[in-house]
Amino acid sequence: MAKTQAVQQTEVGDGLALGVLAVGVDSVPHDKMAIELAFRRAWRGWFHASTYPAIKAGPSFDDIYIQIMLRSEKRRWGCTVWRSEGNRLYPELVGESWTLEDGMQLHVKASGVPEAGWRQLAELFLDSLHGSGDTRR
């Protein structure tokens, strides 16, 4: 059975957050244009993007900022949220007693994408953000 758009958005949001945390980054700039451009570039280069056909990452509409990051705090399922504070977005685990390893193992099992895949998406995303002027990497 095909995954719904909402499930795909949750999986990508969780995977990106877990990947960002796994590579040692604790926040990204709260900048819609920079995030959308970085995600668009990362998505084009990510090996597993075809696994998520409902994710929009293009010039006319992007899911990453509003649909995935900003709405993550309102989701009823998922293992992460993107918390907004000032001019930064912070990826955080939902379970108070969860470790990053716990969250990643759960997410890998649920999504079918290996940890290396989520790390790759995060690295592509962060590399593009860094090129856009974000220096907190």
Whether the Cβ atoms of residue 25 and residue 126 lie closer than 8 Å to each other: yes
- Taking only the tens place, the pLDDT of each residue in 49-75 is 999 998 888 777 666 766 667 666 666
Mean pLDDT value across the chain: 86
Domain locations along the chain: 5-114+124-131
pTM for the predicted model, two decimal places:
0.89
Share of the chain above pLDDT 70, in %: 83
For the sheet containing 80-85, what is the strand order? Answer: 28-29, 88-93, 80-85
